[in-house]
Amino acid sequence: MQTTTNGASASIWHATTEVPSCTPLNGSAVADVCVIGAGIAGLTTAYLLSSHGRKVTLIDAAGIGAGETGRTTAHLSPPDEWYAGIEEAFDAARAALVADAYASAIDMVQSIIAKEDIACEFERLDGYLYALPGNGFQDLDKELDAARRAGVNAERLARVPGIPFDTGPCIRYANQAQFHPLKYLSGLARGLVKNGGVIYGGTRADSIDGNPDGQTVFTGRGEIRAESVVVATNTPFNNRVVMHTKQAAYRTYVIGVAVPKGSLPHILLWDTGDPYYYVRLEAAGAPEGHEVLVVGGADHKVGQDAHPEHRYGELERWVRERFPMAGAVLYQWSGEVMEPSDGLAFLGRNPMDEDNVYIITGDSGNGMMHCTIGGMLITDLILGKENRWAGLYDPSRKMLHGVSDFVSEQANTLAQYGDWAKGGEVESVQQIPPGQGAILNQGMQKIAVYRDPQNGLHALSAACTHLACVVHFNSAETSWDCPCHGSRFDTNGAVLHGPAVSPLAAAEIKS
Ligand code: FES
């Protein structure tokens, strides 16, 4: 069983796949390209570059699929922002470019699967967006018109066919897709190695330094010298401030419930809510004669709900009200989503860096799509080829759109620094039950204290090592989560998710 992951919960993908294990770097290495991050973004980029003869070294702090790709629901579906939202924020030409990128990404995934003979349950299917009461119906009309202008095969139906509740009007997007993300990553990794690439697990990149002629990636296990570096770590650790003002980190929640096989059509389904619910079926990991109905939603900003377990209950209530055949809850997990203020991912050269350092971030809830587009786009940039999406997704673009989102996310982040002026969450460690954590004030210091199930206390500085916000305990994942830019740490202080690079400092509880 694959166990390397960045939280306490395990996804259906973790439970049903064993990904290839990778030994750590030991000494120094030289490559044409060093890719950091063994999720779908890093592995797609590394695989495509190696297919073009580039010598690629890929490193990951943990292992293949240990980050957010192992926690997705793997919808290969239209943009979260809708085509209407992109057209409104940008223009119809750029909405058409997004449609082109999305269709090309699904085609690319399908062609890699065929070429590498990857058994990952890839399936083409229809996606349905249905309207919630209120202004949802009008929104659907706008979306249908915009999707069609963008060249998307879409139609309006009176309701989603084949499911037990009346959704009301919906849009059907033809020819979307789903797959098993960790089986896909395993196939990409095998293809990369076959092409001469090397993958090191357990190797965290601490920093990158260099010039236009070459870069060096520094790790605790040695250095890697390369002509180019691609940072594909969900959120870029090498960009300390700029990118983290352009996007916001959210947690999203997923449950998997057993349903009788054949009782529901294989479709992708989501609604017009904000946050919205999203649904698909999965065959792996189901009891005999069943499939797993995978339902996600109930998002919130990272570090801004200390006891998010109720969100699993919210998902269960939602699914039982609509799908009477829903049986036992078999899986529950959460993951992290980076929401760019203007809705488009950031794929390309890292702003304020040399031209040979690239980033893939801002998945916007469409991680499978944006990471595949990012891999294709950055491969072209490194190979010196034109890429028609490069301007659209340029990380250096000015945030002329989504300004109100930008302002409210910045205000939210600034407000988090007010935590330093607040009292502790508990007055003494005696108030912390086993398996829980809380912030304790100790003079001018804030201590993050976790009491393990055996009653042992683990004390850390509560100052996030990125930009010093106060971390908060996440009891659903047994982690310390930062409410400012989404860094996460385990109960020993080790980094689970960037942009932080360094662990939380050890602290002492004074009696
Ligand atoms: Fe930026 Fe914690 S993630 S301050």
pLDDT digits (tens, 9 = 90+) for 156-178: 999 999 999 999 999 999 999 99
Q: Tell me the residue range of the domain where 357 lies.
A: 20-71+182-245+343-407
Give the CA distances from residue 230 to residues 35, 208, 226, 320, 396, in Å, rounded to whole numbers and listed in that order. 5, 10, 10, 43, 16
471 alpha carbon to ligand 1 midpoint, in Å? 8
Overall average pLDDT of the 80-103 stretch: 95
Q: Which two tokens stand for residue 375?
A: 């891999």
454 alpha carbon to ligand 1 midpoint, in Å? 30
pLDDT per position as a tens digit, 258-303:
999 999 999 999 999 888 999 999 999 999 999 999 999 999 999 9
Angle at 384 between CA 381 and CA 388, to 5 degrees: 55
| pLDDT for 414 | 78
Overall average pLDDT of the 107-130 stretch: 98
| pLDDT for 511 | 72
387 alpha carbon to ligand 1 midpoint, in Å? 33
The reply to whether 222 and 360 lie within a common domain is yes
405 alpha carbon to ligand 1 midpoint, in Å? 19
17 alpha carbon to ligand 1 midpoint, in Å? 32
| Closest C-alpha residue for ligand 1 atom 4 | 467
Q: Is 464 in the pocket of ligand 1 (CB under 6 A)?
A: yes
Q: Is 74 in the pocket of ligand 1 (CB under 6 A)?
A: no
pLDDT per position as a tens digit, 445-476:
999 999 999 999 999 999 999 999 999 999 99
pLDDT above 60 for 3: no
| pLDDT for 352 | 77
Give the whole-angstrom CA distance, residue 436 versus residue 210.
43
- Lowest mean per-residue pLDDT among 83-92, 139-148, 203-212, 403-412: 403-412
Q: Is 507 a member of any domain?
A: no
Q: Is 79 a member of any domain?
A: no
Q: Is 447 in the pocket of ligand 1 (CB under 6 A)?
A: no
Reported as type and span, the H/E element at residue 243 is helix 242-246
Cβ burial, residue 300 (10 Å; 0-12/13-18/19+): middle
Pocket test for ligand 1, best of 410, 419, 465, 485 (most atoms within 8 A of CB): 485
Overall average pLDDT of the 227-248 stretch: 91
Residue 243: pLDDT band with limits 50, 70, 90: confident
DSSP secondary structure letter of residue 271: E
pLDDT above 90 for 439: yes
The reply to whether 173 and 253 lie within a common domain is yes
470 alpha carbon to ligand 1 midpoint, in Å? 8
> Of 308, 340, 372, which residue is a domain's last?
340
Q: Is 230 in the pocket of ligand 1 (CB under 6 A)?
A: no
pLDDT above 50 for 410: yes
420 alpha carbon to ligand 1 midpoint, in Å? 14
> Of 340, 363, 397, which residue is a domain's last?
340
Q: Is 413 a member of any domain?
A: no
Overall average pLDDT of the 37-52 stretch: 98
CB under 8 Å to 289, separation ≥6 — which residues? Answer: 260, 261
Q: In the Cβ-directed half-sphere of 242, how many Cα atoms lie within 13 Å?
A: 13
Q: Is 98 a member of any domain?
A: no
- Residue 467 CA: nearest ligand 1 atom is 4
- Residue 244 CA: nearest ligand 1 atom is 1
Q: State the total domains in the chain.
A: 3
pTM: 0.96
Instruction: For the chain, give the mean pLDDT.
Output: 94
Q: Is 201 a member of any domain?
A: yes
pLDDT above 70 for 305: yes
| pLDDT for 188 | 98
Residue 400: pLDDT band with limits 50, 70, 90: low
Q: Is 7 a member of any domain?
A: no
Overall average pLDDT of the 334-360 stretch: 92
> Of 407, 438, 463, which residue is a domain's last?
407
pLDDT above 80 for 232: yes
Q: Is 92 in the pocket of ligand 1 (CB under 6 A)?
A: no
Q: Is 83 a member of any domain?
A: no
Q: Is 41 in the pocket of ligand 1 (CB under 6 A)?
A: no
| pLDDT for 403 | 65
The reply to whether 202 and 315 lie within a common domain is no
The reply to whether 378 and 465 lie within a common domain is no
185 alpha carbon to ligand 1 midpoint, in Å? 29
The reply to whether 254 and 335 lie within a common domain is yes
Sign of the Cα pseudo-torsion (13, 16, 18, 24, in order)? positive
pLDDT above 60 for 319: yes
Show the beta-strand stretches assigned E in 192-277: 198-200, 205-211, 214-219, 222-231, 247-260, 268-271
Give the whole-angstrom CA distance, residue 99 versus residue 309.
36
223, 224, 228, 231 alpha-carbon torsion, rounded to 10°: -70
- Residue 249 CA: nearest ligand 1 atom is 3
The reply to whether 306 and 256 lie within a common domain is yes
The reply to whether 268 and 323 lie within a common domain is yes
| pLDDT for 183 | 98
- Residue 500 CA: nearest ligand 1 atom is 3
| Closest C-alpha residue for ligand 1 atom 3 | 485
Letter string b/e over residues 202-230, b meaning 16 or more CB atoms within 10 A of that residue's CB: bbbbeebebeeeebbbebebbebbbbbbb
Residue 369: pLDDT band with limits 50, 70, 90: very high
pLDDT above 50 for 87: yes
Q: Is 54 in the pocket of ligand 1 (CB under 6 A)?
A: no
H helices present in 364-402, as ranges? 367-383
| pLDDT for 402 | 62
pLDDT above 80 for 344: yes
Residue 401: pLDDT band with limits 50, 70, 90: low
Query: Using an 8 Å Cβ cutoff, are 373 and 394 in contact?
Result: no
Higher pLDDT among residues 411 and 484, named by residue: 484
The reply to whether 266 and 359 lie within a common domain is no
Give the CA distances from residue 47 to residues 189, 223, 383, in Å, rounded to whole numbers and listed in that order. 7, 21, 14
